[in-house]
Structure 1
Amino acid sequence: MPTNGPGETILLIEDDDSGRELGRFNLRKAGYVVDDVADGEAGLARFAPERHALVITDLQMPGIGGMEVLRRIKERSPETPVLVITAYGDIEVAVAAMKAGAFDFLGKPFHRDHLVLTVQKAIERRNMARELERLRRQAAGVERPIVHASAAMARVLEIAERVALSAAPVLITGESGTGKELVARRIHARSRRSSGPFVAVNCAAIPGELLESELFGHVRGAFTGAVRDRPGRFRQASGGTLFLDEVAELPLPLQAKLLRVLQEHLVDVVGGDSPVAVDVRVLAATNQDIHARAAAGALRKDLLYRLNVVELPLPPLRERREDIPALVAHFVAGLSDGRDIEVPAAVLDELARRSWPGNVRELANACERAVILCRGDALRVEDLPPAPASGPGAAGGSSLADLLGALPEEGLSLVDLETRVIERVLQMKRGNVSQAAAYLRIPRHVLAYRMEKHGIRRP
């Protein structure tokens, strides 16, 4: 038998002291990490799906028995294999456990070789199922890779894995460009709704007068131009997940309708006679201070409580600079069209030095520019976008009064001011909308919408 196992952690639940000691000894000798407890209640309290690769439980225990332990673990984590220990001759109980979801059973007293081989087979089966599920998600195109090397992002993804199997709403917060939709997609892909649709809606990109119909649907004739029924995004996401990006931008009347959906799972269709039942999990995201919005009355507090069952804050790139080399390698490899492009240390040092107000999205744009301008087989610092200016004239380093100057006494047009600012930034960024959006610290689609609204063209 092997003396070195894969280092997986196994939860062993056995009320017999000698049997628990023997199982712990044999599993550790095979290279496994063992958590062992003496009863079912302690085992359920200790169980963590993200940590334990496998559970071994005795069936006959005082208090919470092995069948109840099996049932509750399968409810929490269907993919975690469970082995049950039963006395020889008690085959009917073992068969019942197998029907309830146990991977296999071990006769008591069990032989060491049989124990280790059964554990290996169960974990291999679990790993194979996970790999098949990963390939299925990849083929479906819902989940996208989240490249990271930092402990901060590892913690975020660990929490995302834990909340994925629940039905609770999740509020993902963070600055623009930190990857909120990527995290939402990961939660959906690892949820029990992964076979259903993932529907994303950006609440800031759709004019308020159209957003109600977009979300909740309408019937033919509900308003001018409604020439046919429209199901709306909630019904399109039925059986799956609806991702509401920039949810803090929802107008107050629509917030009340969203609250009704979250509470009663009913959609009030525009122009409809009766509400329609929907089966949707809602994930939401915002780059704003959601609690400040609620305190200011711009967001209903009861809606905040419903959306914010679990809050998942994403750290900005400047707080996880150790992710930059891995992200750069990922972006450059995807943009290089088969070319083997080197990223010298000087380029990485320059990238690590910058503050990245546009976060990962801005870094991706910088890598794209550098690859396009690269003439050899290595990136150069001069291929990168110009570094933001420093000093009192730099954005973020000056006061609002410095930026605006003296305001005219006769008044001014806010629309004209916004138009002039956007035009000036576009000129500064040579027509690159993504870089202009990062500079203005708004999502790209919001800038694109405002450009279209004000008739602004790229220089």
Structure 2
Amino acid sequence: MKPSCHSSSLLWIISDSGVPDLCCEALVNEGYRPERVSIAARSEQKPGVILIDSDIGSGFTGHIQTLISRFPQAVILAMVAHGESALASEALQAGASDYVLKPFQPSQLLRVLGQSLALRHSTGDMVVRSRAGLQVLQLAYRAAQTPAAVLIGGESGTGKECLARYIHQVSDRSDGPFVAVNCAAIPESMLEAVLFGYSKGAYTGAVQAQAGKFELANGGTLLLDEISEMPLALQTKLLRVLQEKEVERLGSHQKVQLNVRIVAACNKDLREAVSAGEFREDLFYRLDVLPLGWPPLRERAEDIMPLVRHFLQKYGQGESFGVSPEAERALLCHDWPGNIRELENVIQRALILARSAIIDVVDLMLPRAGQGRVANPLLSVGQPQPETAPDGLQASRQRAEFDYVLQILRKYSGHRSRTAEALGLTTRALRYKLAAMREQGIDIDRVIGA
């Protein structure tokens, strides 16, 4: 990738031993302007790429972190000697985009550099701009080039399934199927049949054979989401499937060979679950080959506004929406305990309540600093409004509330408990809201099915 496509062509080399002349010549031929600088260099120039050598001595990883803070948009490659694999790992953890082992050929350096630049500016469907997020994508990209299992950790709503899809998209399995299973959403009695499939007559109601998710994902990727919720007995069977790379449908002795990459995700600490006897230790180590930690949204503030623009475009129904400066400050100051899922819901709600093409802070309904969460207007659906509210405004608010409830119901195909969770209500409270809407003459079932 030519550097002029996406970044500054200035390339700093921080090394006591330097970079071979052939490598420098190859960099020049690719359009870079390599310059050798010291670690203490102070310059107004902003390099697009920095090569930093472990031969600079102590504080190597600390220097990487300093460079990241000074040049957040730069691609930083660590140069480490063969046998320094621990140091290479530390460099990645410190924030380096990648590393190259010395001695290296020009083609090796250009290949690693090209991959890092491609990743920085081509993130698939992922909306990521922050250094922390891009670092996770870098590790995910490397994981995708191997057949090993991947374990994705992170808080609820951070986008673990999106990261799993990214791994699938950039792997050599991208032409194969991507199959996702939420282990917490399927009743325990049905999960085994869903995963492994069943033959005709395997149990009452099995009137025809059905392939399981493992078979459906053959040649592609299988995401086992919320795997910590899988029963221990089923964990034992899952471990055997992963070890043998074959599966038997329930009620059948015929084995089906598998060629599936497993990506597991969970919002709990699986090590703690192992210690508590809630998760098999051997299964944990089978899945924890390439662990990835997806940071919460509050730790990657640079991603908030790009995500906001993405959701405005996604849910704007072809219209162009903007965000006022006050609303942007509120979005950036909020700590987002629900992460990206919460942000998505906030933007959907704001689009419904907005009075113009500019989203204002009142449309977001976020709590002010130092206060609890603002009252959810949905809690007042069907309740008397303050006497000071003009009748027209009251009716407008009520219509917006009804429309929002129906929109979320449609999103979850009428599923009451998932809708209530998205709205921040109990299922009982949601029933009251729906009853109030029916009293207003709204045929909820017809609208949802429309």
**TM-score, length-scaled by structure 2:** 0.62
Conserved? CA contact 1:144–1:182, under 8 Å: no
What residue number does 1:298 align with?
Answer: 278
- Which residue of 179, 183, 194 corresponds with 1:199? 179
SS at match of 2:264: strand
Residue 351 (1) aligns with residue 331 (2): yes
Q: What corresponds to 2:243 in structure 1?
A: 263
Determine which of 289, 300, 322 is the counterpart of 2:302: 322
Which residue does the alignment assign to 2:257?
277
Q: 1:23 — aligned with what?
A: 22
Alpha-carbon offset, residue 291 of structure 1: 1.6
State the match for 1:176 in structure 2. Answer: 156
- Per-residue CA deviations over 1:189-217 (Å, capped at 9, x if unaligned) read 11121111111111111111111100000
Structure 2 CA distance, aligned partners of 1:3 and 1:169?
A: 33
Cα pair distance change 1:336/1:197, threshold 3 Å? same
Distance in 1 separating the partners of 2:145 and 2:289: 14
Q: Relative to 1, partners in 2 of residues 1:268 and 1:394: Cα closer, same or farther, differing over 3 Å? A: farther
The answer for the alignment partner of 1:219 in structure 2 is: 199
Measured after TM superposition, the shift of residue 242 of structure 1 is 0.3
- Residue 171 of structure 1 aligns to a residue in which SS? strand
Higher gyration radius (CA): 1
Against the structure 1 CA distance between its residues 57 and 29, is the aligned structure 2 distance closer, same or farther, given a 3 Å change threshold? closer
Query: Does the 8 A contact of 1:433 with 1:444 survive in 2?
Result: no
C-alpha distance in structure 2 between counterparts of 1:275 and 1:354, whole Å: 52
Query: Counterpart amino acid of 2:197?
Result: G
**Residue 166, structure 1, aligned to residue 165, structure 2:** no
Q: Provide, for residues 392-428 of structure 1, a one-character-per-residue CA deviation record: whole Å limited to 9, x for no partner.
A: 9999xxxxxxxxxxxxxxxxxxxxxxxxxxxxxxx9x
1:180 counterpart letter in structure 2? K
Say which SS state the counterpart of residue 276 (structure 1) adopts: strand
Deviation, 1:455, is 12
The 1:358/1:32 distance shift into structure 2, 3 A limit, reads: same
Question: Is the 2:349–2:404 contact (alpha carbons within 8 Å) kept by the matching residues of 1?
Answer: no
Q: 1:196 to 1:376 in 2, by over 3 A?
A: same
Equivalent residue for 1:379, pick from 359, 374, 385: 359
Partners of 2:364 and 2:309 lie apart in 1 by: 15
- Whichever residue aligns with residue 369 of structure 1, its letter is R
How much does 1:224 deviate? 0.3
- 8 Å CA contact retained: 1:6, 1:32: no
Contact 1:147–1:326 (CA under 8 A) maintained in structure 2: yes
Identity %: 40
Q: CA RMSD in A?
A: 4.6
- Are 2:153 and 1:153 equivalent residues in the alignment? no
Superposed CA offset, 1:298-326 (max 9, x none): 11111111111121111111222232122
1:24–1:57 Cα change, 3 Å: closer
Q: Secondary structure at the match of 2:286?
A: helix
2:225 aligns with one of 224, 245, 267: 245
Alignment of 1:31-42 (within 5 A): 31=32
Q: 1:187 aligns with which of 158, 167, 172?
A: 167
Flag structure 1 segments of 5+ consecutive residues without an equivalent.
10-19, 59-69, 82-122, 135-142, 396-426, 436-442
CA distance in 2, matches of 1:295, 1:433: 42
Distance in structure 1 (CA, Å) of the matches to 2:270 and 2:325:
39
Deviation string 1:68-123 (CA, Å, 9 cap, x unpaired) is xx9xx8xxx9x959xxxxxxxxxxxxxxxxxxxxxxxxxxxxxxxxxxxxxxxxx8
2:358 partner SS: coil
What amino acid is the match of 1:27?
A: A
User: CA shift at 1:26, angstroms?
Assistant: 3.0
1:145 corresponds to which letter in structure 2? D
1:372 maps to amino acid: I
Q: Does residue 286 of structure 1 match 2:266?
A: yes
Cα distance change, pair 295–332 in 1 and its aligned pair in 2 (3 A) = same
Measure the CA separation in 2 of the matches of 1:303 and 1:455.
40
Cα distance between partner residues in 2 of 1:213 and 1:318 = 39
Which residue of 2 is the match for residue 232 of structure 1? 212
1:345-424 alignment, distance < 5 Å: 345-387=325-367
CA deviation after TM superposition for structure 1 residue 341, in Å: 2.0
**Is the Cα–Cα contact under 8 Å of residues 204 and 446 in structure 1 kept in the other structure?**
no
Q: Take 2:10 and 2:174, find their aligned partners in 1: how far apart are those partners?
A: 26
Which residue of the partner structure matches residue 210 of structure 1? Answer: 190
User: Structure 1 305/386 Cα, relative in aligned 2: closer, same or farther at 3 Å?
Assistant: same
How far apart, in 1, do the equivalents of 2:189 and 2:218 lie?
A: 24
Q: Supply the distance in 2 between the matched residues of 1:181 and 1:224 (Cα, whole angstroms).
A: 33
Matched residue SS, 2:210:
coil
- Asked if 1 retains the 8 angstrom alpha-carbon contact of 2:322 and 2:359, the reply is yes
Deviation at 1:390, TM superposition (A): 6.0
CA-CA distance at 1:149 after TM superposition: 2.4
Q: Is the 1:3–1:29 contact (alpha carbons within 8 Å) kept by the matching residues of 2?
A: no
Displacement of 1:376 in angstroms is 1.7
Q: 1:221–1:227: 8 Å Cα contact kept in structure 2?
A: yes
Is the 2:367–2:374 Cα contact (8 Å) retained in structure 1?
Answer: no
SS in 1 for 2:211: coil
State the AA in 1 paired with 2:282. D
Q: Is the CA contact (8 Å cut-off) linking 2:200 and 2:207 kept in structure 1?
A: yes
2:198 counterpart SS class: coil
Cα separation, partners in 2 of 1:197 and 1:8, compared to 1, 3 Å: farther
When residues 293 and 239 of structure 1 are mapped into structure 2, their CA distance, relative to the original with a 3 A threshold, is same
Q: Is the 8 A contact 1:213 1:232 kept in 2?
A: yes
